[in-house]
Structure formats: structure tokens, C-alpha cells
Structure 1
Amino acid sequence: MPTGRHVEENAMHPFRKAVEERDLEAVEALLADDVVFTSPVAFRPYPGKAVTAAILRGVLRVFENFRYVREIASADGRDHALVFKAEVDGREVHGCDFLHFDDDGLIDDFTVMVRPLSGATALAEAMAAQFDRIQQEAAGS
């Protein structure tokens, strides 16, 4: 018996829709206050809505030609995997956003994984260049 389901295009998750429309207010509204963001290029997770929102704004600044190509949801709808493709500094990146939703329907756990190594390296370098701005944005929230 399958434990997940493929989500049809017309049933797009609100997070996916917000990201694809680059609606940063809608993205932030879907984050729980106690969300934990786990980056593909940093060792430690980042707890909290302000820093997670700032990181996501930074990611949208560095990703070029970003698009989700597949959406997979658990049967209960509390877990989603959003497969994406993008470019960073001319390097192709394939990745997946793993989202978990709390009882209120807000994202409380957000993990990103990317490949290949050359794409992950380009992403790490591009995000490192954004780090001061991300910290300032998170502090200002």
C-alpha cells in the first residue's frame, strides 16, 4: 500500500504556489513561529520564522530559472516533498524541499537537499555572499 500520493498540478500546495509566484509575504505566512530550517549547505539547523524567511528570500535572490517539477504529499497531507530545478551562477541544481506541517497547517520543519556537488558548492558560495543581508533581515523582523 503506498504511503504517499502524487499531487496533481491543479491541486498545487499553497507554499508551492507562493514560491512560484515569488510572493514572499505568502511564503512567510505559511511558516510556524517555531519552524526549523535545515540547509543543504550548513551544518546546523536554523530555528525560527524570522531567520527562515530571511534565508528563503536569499535563496530566491540567488536561484535563477527556479521551478518545481514534482510535488509529492503524504496521505495525511502533513508531509510534502517539492522537487525543484534551478541554476546558481550557471550551475544546474536539482533539489527537494521537505516540508512538515503542524496541527495549524503551518510549516514547522523545512529541510532542503540539493545535488550535484558542483551545484551545492555554487549554492553555498552564493548564500555565503548573502549571509550578512540574511542576518540583518532576520534581526529586523
Structure 2
Amino acid sequence: MNASNNHTSTHTPSTPDAPVPTRVHYHKQARELELGYASGDTYRLPVELLRVYSPSAEVRGHGGDTAVLQVGKKDVGLQNITQAGNYALKLHFDDGHDSGLYSWNYLHDLATHQHAYWNNYLERLEAAGASREPAGIQFKQL
């Protein structure tokens, strides 16, 4: 599915353990991925959150506690979304990042705990003296 415009896709459930979205829709203007479930629950995940919590080894690190803090991702969007079998989505970001598969379980976890993930991300940025702003647009408080 191409993410150049708003896109909607329908998926069928695979296992009761993995809440599988019945609807996936990318809101390009808002830079949000909407996940709708058979239960009626709907979540909108900011693309920035999806990017900074990418399940790829590049972001999570190659084992242990070596996660790489992602900075400057405030304006990141999606170029493409592809389904990986019946268990995951592969998100292609407009900053070139496209490794890592977002399993249904992982997407549901991000959706249902997004405020905790977001606050953790902001705390890590602050501790590192880093910013959400893309390089070259760093704002400093005077």
C-alpha cells in the first residue's frame, strides 16, 4: 500500500494472542497511523513515535541495553506501508529508514501504551540534550 496519500487497508485476524487490526489507515497530513480493531477500539499513532521505537536492530541495538536514541524525527512521515505475511507491517519512512517489522502485538502495545512510550522518549531526549527537531532547526531556550 502506498503512503503517498491517505490509505486504508483491511486485514484478517491470525491468532487470538495478537490483536490484529481490522483497519489500517495512514493520515498523511497529521502524520498518524490509525489502527482499528474488531472490538471497536481505534488508535492513532504518530509516525514519529513509530520511527523512534522502530523494532529494527539499527534502533534497538544489537542485543543488551544498546538502544540508539533517535533524534530529529519530529517531521518524519511514511512513504509506503507493506504487509509482512499475516503477522506484521513493514513501514517505509521518508527519512530512508525501512528496516524492522512491526508485529501486530508490537503495534498494539505501542498503541495502548503510547503515552508512556512518548514520555520515556521525551525524557531520554532531555537527558541526552537532544531534540525532536530535524538537524538545522534546533531551538534552544534562552
TM-score under structure 1 length normalisation: 0.32
Higher helix share: 1
TM-score under structure 2 length normalisation: 0.32
| Larger RCO (alpha carbons 8 Å, 6+ apart) | 1
Higher strand share: 1
